[in-house]
């Protein structure tokens, strides 16, 4: 299964949704790290909400943190301005109140990068959500 995990991470990084689906349906573990220690949801093409939803549907952990930066997939989606992906992560249970290694929340990253729609979504979330 190690090779299946590596293939899944590569397909997710490339935004290849059909390949991601096929690998997951064949039993590829959604949380298996690649050779760099990153899971498919950490390396996925953030602009592909479809890939995010497939991984999450098959049990990917939306709250996995990078061991160095402590950033989570929601930090990456917010920084890059991918609202659809951020919403999919949030709906799957991703925490929005966790800071990265530099003390930044996802909303901080969205604001720093000028992604107003993402920042607005994050501001509109109730504190207990």
> Which class would CATH give 62-129?
mainly alpha
- Do residues 9 and 28 touch, judged by C-beta distance below 8 A? no
Rounded to whole angstroms, the Cα distance separating 83 from 33 reads 25
53-85: per-residue pLDDT in tens?
Answer: 999 999 999 999 998 999 999 999 999 999 999
Task: For the chain, give every residue range classified as CATH 1.25.40.20.
Answer: 1-61, 62-129
Backbone phi, psi, residue 43, to 5°: -105, 0
Q: Which fold has domain 1-61?
A: 1.25.40
Whole-structure pTM value: 0.93
Which pLDDT band holds residue 30 (cuts at 50, 70, 90)? very high
Query: Which pair of structure tokens corresponds to residue 64?
Result: 């996995």
């Amino acid at each position: 299964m190690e090779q299946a995990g590596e293939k899944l991470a590569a397909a997710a990084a490339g935004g290849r949704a059909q390949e991601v689906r096929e690998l997951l349906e064949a039993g590829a573990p959604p949380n298996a790290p690649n050779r760099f220690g990153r899971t498919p949801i950490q390396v996925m093409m953030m602009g592909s909400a479809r890939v995010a939803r497939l991984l999450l549907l098959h049990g990917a952990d939306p709250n996995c943190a990078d061991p160095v930066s402590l950033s989570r997939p929601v930090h990456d989606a917010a920084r890059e301005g991918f609202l659809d992906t951020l919403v999919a992560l949030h709906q799957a249970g991703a925490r929005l109140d966790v800071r990265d290694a530099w003390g930044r929340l996802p909303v901080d990253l969205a604001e720093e990068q000028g992604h107003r729609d993402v920042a607005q979504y994050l501001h509109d979330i109730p504190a207990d959500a």
